[in-house]
Structure 1
Amino acid sequence: MFPERFSNLPAYAFPRLRALLDVHAPGGEVVHMTIGEPKHAFPDWIVDIIAENSNGFGQYPVNEGMPALLLATTDWVARRYGVTLDPGTRVMALNGTREGLYNAMMALCPEQKRGKRPVVLLPNPFYQVYMVAALSVGAEPVFLNATRATGYLPDFTALAPEVLERVTVAYLCSPSNPQGAVASRQYWADLIALAEKYDFRIFADECYSEIYRDVPPVGVLQVAHEMGADPERIVAFHSLSKRSNLPGLRSGFVVAGPESIAAMKQLRNYAGAPLPMPLQHAATRLWADEAHVVENRALYARKYARADEIMGNLPGYRSPEAGFFLWLPVPDGEAAALRLWQETGVRVLPGAYLGQEAGGVNPGHGYIRVAMVAPEDEMAQGLIRLRDCLYG
């Protein structure tokens, strides 16, 4: 049986979606627009690198990442954000960012703060691993609604001091999932200043950072560096899943202060799942190469344009700043997803499945999330069917 703190845990979004839709026949040829699983081609040379290093499958992997991989990630951070890091003390390889987002909480969240139960701040809607990580360490998750009124990012500054004094970790995803909003330099600066004042860490989930329109999203590492903030305040996560279309490689990395990295490495010694060595070699090459990322971003730019062309005249439509999701307003997300499936065969995710009730509302209730990951023409056909069914 689950521990008591998990007793009210909601069903994960995708089993919940299957229970909603799969008892009904689709109303047309199926178009999958639910899960954020990239469908663009990954670099074909990756297969050769894995094959060339396949003898590494006969070795235990280097737990924290082999030196060449760690150097490749810190070199990338220097190119992308202008921040120089020591690869030996400031970075650790991850078996996908989900592992890191969860295990960082296990390693870094204290049992109490000022003699009270710790608080973990979460944007709402959110990636559900954040909430489960908080519950796993006995912390109290506090949900901050990210709505049109707040620019689709949580307003951390609106919290009362008595709550902020108990905060140990604040999660933030930028570019955000599901809304595609980007934290500005000032937004990051305000959050970092708040973390310094109230002594908590920022867990910055930046796995969508390389999918954007024109201007690269500012990152938490560069803002913290510019401010001269304590490196222990920032724990930043990056991934190859979206950047390089390799969700199955399960490769990412985390940057943090030396004390935080040491604590995460210590946990990894006992509970981690290090990346197999052939995949570490592949990841090393991927972080060093930008050409495939530029090509990938160009494909998404075409999808942004097609989505704007098809959906742009609809009331409430908002084109995302970055990422690959549309966050579309509807009267009831669950009813809209079911109708769309039964009448057209297009499969989308009710926004409420990504949120929790906070302040008497679930901010995802009146939305559906639409993943623009299918090939461009298939995506366009799905959006046309969606538009005509729900907004026609």
Structure 2
Amino acid sequence: MNTLLERLHPYPFEKLNALFKDITPAQLSAISLSIGEPKHPAPQFVIDSLAQNFQHLSSYPASKGLPELRQAIASWLTQRFHLKNISAEQQVLPVSGTREALFSFVQAVINKDDDAYVVMPNPFYQIYEGATLLAGATPYFVNCTKDNDYLGDFDAVPSTVWEKTAILFICTPGNPTGAVMPREQLKKLIQLSDQYHFIIASDECYSELWFEQAPVGLLEVCAEMGRDDYKNCVVFHSLSKRSNLPGMRSGFIAGDAKVLAPYLKYRTYHGAAMPVQHQIASTLAWSVEEHVAENRALYREKFQLFQSELGHLLPLVKPDAGFYYWLQVDNDEKFAQQLIQQANIKVLPGRYLSRDTSEGNPGENHVRMALVADLQQCEQVIQRLKSIL
């Protein structure tokens, strides 16, 4: 077997299962706030589209995707991020969910002979690290802490690391912190990319779950800088969070055509093309905004409820965007164990989403709470927490 597999860490939920192994849950219905799996209803028009297009089960899908889907994505990007020009033919590529694409993108980019770094936030989505290790590269962690507004201090990254960096991963809005990277920081990173010749891969899967103001995106900043070629910049978006369609495995990567062309060549061998019926349904989903606004309203209502009912009992800080609370606690593992034992509520210890560094582990003594349950379950969570806090 590939010996690089030995370098992979257990996935966070494996660690969580081990943590709860000897815990007897409270005799209440289980409520999980540990995994970012949207529970709001899927749009009916998407369900109808899938039901009407099962004849395409007899067709192989093209790796590049349907022209109509690429055009729908390009149109959405243009409107959402105020782009002047993006080519549906050369600068957009549908993928089978961004998890698959984030992983395969690293395999396509990394030159194994370069002894390269992949710079990433800490805490982070573990796919960034796993993809890096299996590509034979080295992760370099940028700690995202309260002191830097959970945005990371990229000025502290040594030039010796930037010189060997192949990819910089950013996640905005952040998972798990919900922090949105501002324009000026994105501009600075683009300038660093020009200086050191690395690719910026921006994971923007939570971009549509905002409360007050729509988050800025990497391609949007490129356009503002007059970089319509989006040189060395790519973004990843998904229907999972935006449209409550995690099971459809539908997303896209967009940006620099010179990066996407060889990545498409890789994908023709990788064999992860999205099924045709899913592409047709995705074309509709990217073309309709009403259900997205309704989705935002549901999350807004839940966060307001938690703030008003529990804000005096827990240090709840409403995120800039997304559906996670990144909650500071005295001990993240003990807090998670106590919630299971006393209330049968599952949350994820922050240390499972981050790595130890010389400055410490930035996820330690935090827990991630995903407000993905429906309103009724969220009300149950609130009542249970009130009874034990």
TM-score if structure 2 supplies the norm length? Answer: 0.96
- Counterpart amino acid of 1:47? I
Q: Which residue is equivalent to 1:107?
A: 108
1:189-223 per-residue CA deviation (whole Å, 9 max, x = no partner) reads 11111111111111100000000102000011010
1:62 paired with 2:62, answer: yes
The aligned residue for residue 265 of structure 1 is: 264
1:324 is the counterpart of 2:311: no
**What amino acid is the match of 1:40?**
H
Question: Could you tell me which residue of structure 2 aligns to residue 97 of structure 1?
Answer: 98
Deviations 1:83-116 (A, max 9, x none): 1211110010000001111111111223345xxx
Within the alignment, does 1:306 sit opposite 2:305 as a pair? Answer: yes
Question: Displaced runs of 4+ in structure 1, greater than 4 A?
Answer: none
- Separation in structure 2 between the aligned mates of residue 383 and residue 349 of structure 1, nearest angstrom: 17
203-212 or 253-262, larger mean C-alpha shift: 253-262
* Alignment of structure 1 residues 108-187 onto 2, 5 Å: 108-113=109-114, 117-187=115-185
Q: Work out whether residues 144 and 358 of structure 1, in 8 Å CA contact, stay in contact via their aligned partners in 2.
A: no
Closer, same or farther in 2 for the Cα pair 1:30/1:218, shift >3 Å? same
Separation in structure 1 between the aligned mates of residue 198 and residue 313 of structure 2, nearest angstrom? 41
Matched, 1:72 2:72: yes
Residue in structure 2 matched with residue 37 of structure 1 by the alignment: 37
Report SS of the residue matched to 2:231.
helix
For residue 23 of structure 2, what is the aligned residue in structure 1?
Answer: 24
1:222 aligned residue:
220
CA separation in 2, counterparts of 1:188 and 1:231?
A: 13
| Partner deviation per Cα, 1:325-361 (whole Å, 9 max, x = no partner) | 0011111111110111011101111111111111252
Q: How much does 1:307 deviate? A: 1.7
Secondary structure of the structure 2 residue equivalent to 1:254: strand
Which residues in structure 2 correspond to 1:245-284 (within 5 Å)?
245-284=244-283
Distance of 1:367 and 1:311 partners within structure 2: 17
5+ long unaligned stretches in structure 2: none
Task: Give 1:350's aligned residue.
Answer: 349
Q: CA RMSD in A?
A: 1.5
Distance in 2, matches of 1:136 and 1:73, equals 30
CA contact (8 A) 2:7 2:133 kept: no
CA contact (8 A) 2:8 2:133 kept: no
What is the alpha-carbon distance in structure 1 between the residues aligned to residue 319 and residue 311 of structure 2?
Answer: 11
Task: Give SS of 1:253's match.
Answer: strand
- Rounded to whole Å, the distance in 1 between the matches of 2:205 and 2:301 is 21
What displacement does 1:311 show? 2.9
* TM-score normalised over the length of structure 1: 0.95
What corresponds to 2:87 in structure 1?
A: 86
* CA displacement at 1:388 relative to structure 2: 4.9
Cα distance in structure 2, aligned partners of 1:354 and 1:383: 25
Residues 1:14 and 1:153: Cα distance change in structure 2 (over 3 Å): same
Quick one: distance in 1 between partners of 2:314 and 2:187?
Answer: 33
Aligned residues: 386
Residue 310 of structure 1, CA deviation:
2.4
Worse-matched range after superposition: 266-275 or 376-385:
376-385
Per-residue deviation, 1:18: 1.4
Give the whole-Å Cα distance in 2 for the aligned partners of 1:388 and 1:202: 46
- Partner SS state of residue 179, structure 1: coil
Residue matched to 1:210? 208
Cα pair 2:219 2:255 within 8 Å, conserved: no
Encode CA deviations 1:151-177: one digit per residue, 9 max, x unaligned. 112221221111111111110111001
Percent identity reads: 39
Please state whether the residue corresponding to 1:232 is helix, strand or coil: coil
Give me the whole-angstrom Cα distance separating, in 2, the residues matched to 1:363 and 1:311.
24
Cα distance in 1 for residues equivalent to 2:121 and 2:59: 40
Q: Is the 8 A contact 1:147 1:363 kept in 2?
A: yes
Q: Secondary structure at the match of 1:357?
A: coil
Which amino acid in 1 is paired with 2:151?
L
Q: Distance in 1 between matches of 2:172 and 2:239?
A: 16
Corresponding residue for residue 191 of structure 1: 189
Cα gap change, 1:288 to 1:228, in 2 (>3 Å)? same
Report Cα offsets for 1:37-65 as digits up to 9, x if no partner.
10111111212211222111100012111
SS for the counterpart of 1:163 is helix
Shift of 1:385: 2.7
> Can you give the 5+ residue segments of structure 1 that lack an aligned partner in the other structure?
none
